[in-house]
C-alpha cells in the first residue's frame, strides 16, 4: 500500500535528520541509525558495510575524519509502505564540502524502515554512486 502523508513525512524526516547529522559530523548519527540486530548500512565505497553498532560507529566516525564534510541534496524521494515496513528511494547528489568548494556527484539510496513503537527505525541504508555509461 502507498504510504500516507504522515508516513511519508516521518520517513523523510529520518532521512533529513541523517543528512543533518552527517554534515555536522555529529556522533549522535550512530544512535539515529542503529536499530538492533539485522540492521545494515552499505555505503557507496568499497569496505563501507556495517552490521553491528560498533561497525556503524567506526564507519561513520571514520567519515568524519576526512577533510571535507559530506551531505546529500535529494531531487527525488519516494516512500512506499506495506504494513509496518516502509522503503524509500532517493536520488540526487552527494555533496563533498571542502573549505573552498563543493564537489557534487550523482548518488542514489535505497532505505528500509520498520515501524517500532510508533517510530520508523532504520533497517537498511544502501547507497550508490551511479557510474556514467561507457
Cα–Cα dist 48/59, whole Å? 7
Helix, strand or coil for residue 16? helix
User: What does the pLDDT read at residue 33?
Assistant: 97
Q: Is residue 103 part of a domain?
A: yes
Q: Is residue 72 part of a domain?
A: yes
For 79-131, what is each residue's pLDDT tens digit?
999 999 999 999 999 999 999 999 999 999 999 999 999 999 999 999 999 87
Q: Is residue 112 part of a domain?
A: yes
Cα–Cα dist 131/23, whole Å? 24
Three cell numbers, residue 53: 553498532
The overall pTM is greater than 0.75: yes
Here the CATH number for the domain that contains residue 83 is: 3.10.450.50
Q: Is residue 76 part of a domain?
A: yes
For 5-44, what is each residue's pLDDT tens digit?
788 999 999 999 999 999 999 999 999 999 999 999 999 9
* Counted domains in the chain: 1
Task: Give the range of the structural domain holding residue 86, as residue numbers without chain letter.
Answer: 5-128
* C-beta neighbour count of 5 within 10 angstroms: 8
Q: Is residue 57 part of a domain?
A: yes
Q: Is residue 10 part of a domain?
A: yes
Q: Is residue 134 part of a domain?
A: no
Amino acid at each position: 500500500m502507498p504510504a500516507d502523508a504522515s508516513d511519508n513525512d516521518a520517513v523523510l524526516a529520518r532521512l533529513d535528520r541523517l543528512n543533518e547529522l552527517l554534515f555536522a559530523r555529529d556522533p549522535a548519527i550512530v544512535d539515529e541509525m542503529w536499530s538492533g540486530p539485522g540492521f545494515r548500512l552499505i555505503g557507496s565505497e568499497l569496505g563501507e558495510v556495517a552490521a553491528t553498532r560498533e561497525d556503524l560507529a567506526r564507519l561513520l566516525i571514520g567519515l568524519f575524519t576526512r577533510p571535507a564534510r559530506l551531505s546529500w541534496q535529494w531531487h527525488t524521494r519516494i516512500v512506499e509502505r506495506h504494513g509496518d515496513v516502509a522503503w524509500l528511494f532517493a536520488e540526487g547528489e552527494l555533496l563533498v564540502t571542502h573549505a573552498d568548494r563543493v564537489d557534487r556527484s550523482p548518488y542514489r539510496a535505497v532505505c528500509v524502515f520498520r515501524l517500532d513503537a510508533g517510530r520508523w527505525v532504520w533497517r537498511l541504508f544502501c547507497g550508490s554512486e551511479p557510474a556514467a555509461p561507457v
